[in-house]
Amino acid sequence: MARIGVCVLGAGDMGRTHARSWSQVEGAELIAVADPDEARARKSCEDHGFDRWFTDWREALEQPGIQAVSICVPSGYHCECSTAAMGHGYHVLCEKPLAVCEEDALAMVQAAERTGVLLGVAFCKRFSNAIHKVRDIVAGGGIERPVMYRFATGWEIRFKPWIMDRRLGGGPIIDLACHYFDQWRFIFESEPVRVKASGMTFSIGAPELLGVEPEMDTATILVEHDSGDVGVISVSWGLPRGTRSGSLEDVLGPAGVISLEGLDKLTLVRSGGEEVFEGLGNDMYLDQTRAFARAVTEGAPLSTAGADGLTALRVSLAAIESARSGVAVELEGQG
Ligand X SMILES: NC(=O)c1ccc[n+]([C@@H]2O[C@H](COP(=O)([O-])OP(=O)(O)OC[C@H]3O[C@@H](n4cnc5c(N)ncnc54)[C@H](O)[C@@H]3O)[C@@H](O)[C@H]2O)c1
For residue 145, the minimal CB distance to ligand X (Å) is: 28
Residue among 297 and 304 whose Cβ is closer to ligand X:
304
335: Cα separation from own chain's centroid:
21
Q: Residues 102, 170: contact at Cβ < 8 Å?
A: no
Residue among 196 and 290 whose Cβ is closer to ligand X:
290
Residue among 14 and 230 whose Cβ is closer to ligand X:
14
Residue among 170 and 192 whose Cβ is closer to ligand X:
170
For residue 10, the minimal CB distance to ligand X (Å) is: 4
For residue 228, the minimal CB distance to ligand X (Å) is: 29
For residue 111, the minimal CB distance to ligand X (Å) is: 17
Task: Point out which residues bind ligand X (CB under 6 A).
Answer: 9-15, 34-37, 40, 57, 72-75, 77, 81, 95-96, 122, 124, 160, 175
Residue among 175 and 224 whose Cβ is closer to ligand X:
175
For residue 76, the minimal CB distance to ligand X (Å) is: 9
For residue 288, the minimal CB distance to ligand X (Å) is: 9
Which are the contacts of 316, defined by CB distance < 8 A and separation ≥ 6? 97, 170, 173, 174, 177, 178, 181
Burial readout 261-295 (b: 16 or more C-beta within 10 A, e: otherwise): eebeebebeeeeeeeebeebeeebbbbbbbbbbbb
The residue number whose beta carbon is nearest to ligand X equals 12
d(CA 48, CA 30): 8
Residue among 99 and 222 whose Cβ is closer to ligand X:
99
Helix ranges (H only) for 162-240 are 171-175, 177-188
Q: Residues 214, 229: contact at Cβ < 8 Å?
A: no
For residue 264, the minimal CB distance to ligand X (Å) is: 16
Residue among 11 and 147 whose Cβ is closer to ligand X:
11
Q: Can you state the angle between helices 13-23 and 38-48, rounded to 10 degrees?
A: 20
d(CA 183, CA 125): 7
For residue 17, the minimal CB distance to ligand X (Å) is: 8
Q: If 0-12 CB within 10 Å is exposed, 13-18 middle and 19+ buried, where does residue 328 land?
A: middle
Residue among 10 and 231 whose Cβ is closer to ligand X:
10
The size of the chain, in residues, is 335
Burial readout 246-260 (b: 16 or more C-beta within 10 A, e: otherwise): eeebbbbbeebbbbb
What string of DSSP letters covers 2-62? --EEEEEE--SHHHHHHHHHHHTSTTEEEEEEE-SSHHHHHHHHHHHT-SEEES-HHHHHT
Which are the contacts of 115, defined by CB distance < 8 A and separation ≥ 6? 86, 87, 89
